[in-house]
Copies of this chain bind each other. A is one copy, B any other.
């Protein structure tokens, strides 16, 4: 459950041990989670106490279908986070070769390897996974640039695509062997809630549903997910706010001497002369950032909460 052997960012616990302070005093910019989440509002006691019923599940899926304009030919299933789906997907079909263009979110390769697949980062293969937009560099894909023309299993991880819905490849969900993943935690800022979706080939979705078991989504997630996905106005104003904040972050970092390499409006990737030195400098101000084992110059930052800009600007002054 907290298997964080793989490099996930996060790791604020360990940073606090090393650099001191109390959790409450730290600003965690090591993830790509919207710091201004969808409001919790009121939750009726039944949401907590009762087994989630069929109606609540149907309301969530109907809202998801509308919000993401899911093609009629595609089915969808909700799970306790996109990571739960990522862990199960490689077991849906017989293992073989998989292509996962990197660098990218490393849980995909880990899950395919755990299920006995041979994973490479280029070339044709039986399965292909793209993260769209890619984490950490923001790379976008199109149907024409997908890496494996012969793939029988195609996974398009759109965990960060809700900031750019016009770029979504959701139409691909109607193709046999295809799955598009959606995450609720990042754009809506409720990562602790655990909610994610797989959308695509009805046969694959049916197997995923079986493997997840009944009641895979909590009562609070069913309720808040349905409310948030039924609120396109919040999504529109949030996209504008995230775009403004990411431009502001780029400006702050440029003044401090880093070069923007892109990303999404939920996280920004910077080139520095020495990412570890930047991470330690920020950590001395109790601001946690993300570095990458495979590139010593890359630093990734999520967006600060409105109240935290002055501390970030002071740390970089």
Give the interface of A toward B (CB within 8 A): 1-4, 6, 8, 10-14, 23, 28, 31, 33, 35, 37, 40, 46-58, 61, 77-81, 83-88, 91, 107, 111, 114, 185, 189-194, 209-221
For A217, the chain B residues whose CB sits under 8 A away are 1, 194
Given known pairs A87-B211, A114-B210, the reply for A216 and B1 (CB within 8 Å) is yes
Given known pairs A4-B54, A33-B50, A51-B33, the reply for A193 and B213 (CB within 8 Å) is no
Q: Is the CB of A54 within 8 A of B211?
A: no
A169 to B210, CA, bound (A): 29
What 11 new A-B contacts, CB under 8 Å, besides A91-B91, A218-B220, A218-B221?
A1-B52, A1-B217, A10-B53, A11-B54, A13-B55, A35-B49, A81-B213, A83-B215, A87-B212, A88-B211, A194-B218
Q: How many copies does the complex hold?
A: 2
Q: Is the CB of B80 within 8 A of A218?
A: yes
Q: Is the CB of B33 within 8 A of A49?
A: yes
A47 to B192, CA, bound (A): 6
A86 to B81, CA, bound (A): 19
Q: Is the CB of B214 within 8 A of A57?
A: no
Q: Is the CB of A2 within 8 A of B218?
A: no
Given known pairs A49-B192, A80-B194, A192-B48, the reply for A2 and B54 (CB within 8 Å) is yes
Partner of A50 from B49, B52, B192 at Cβ < 8 Å: B192
For A111, the chain B residues whose CB sits under 8 A away are 213
A190 to B212, CA, bound (A): 20
Q: Is the CB of A190 within 8 A of B33?
A: no
For A215, the chain B residues whose CB sits under 8 A away are 1-2, 81, 83, 191, 194
Partner of A84 from B190, B191, B213 at Cβ < 8 Å: B213
Q: Taking CB as reference atom, which chain B residue is nearest A80? A: B80
For A28, the chain B residues whose CB sits under 8 A away are 50
15 A-B pairs, CB-CB below 8 angstroms?
A1-B209, A1-B212, A2-B58, A4-B54, A12-B53, A13-B53, A33-B49, A37-B48, A37-B49, A48-B193, A50-B191, A87-B211, A87-B213, A192-B220, A193-B220
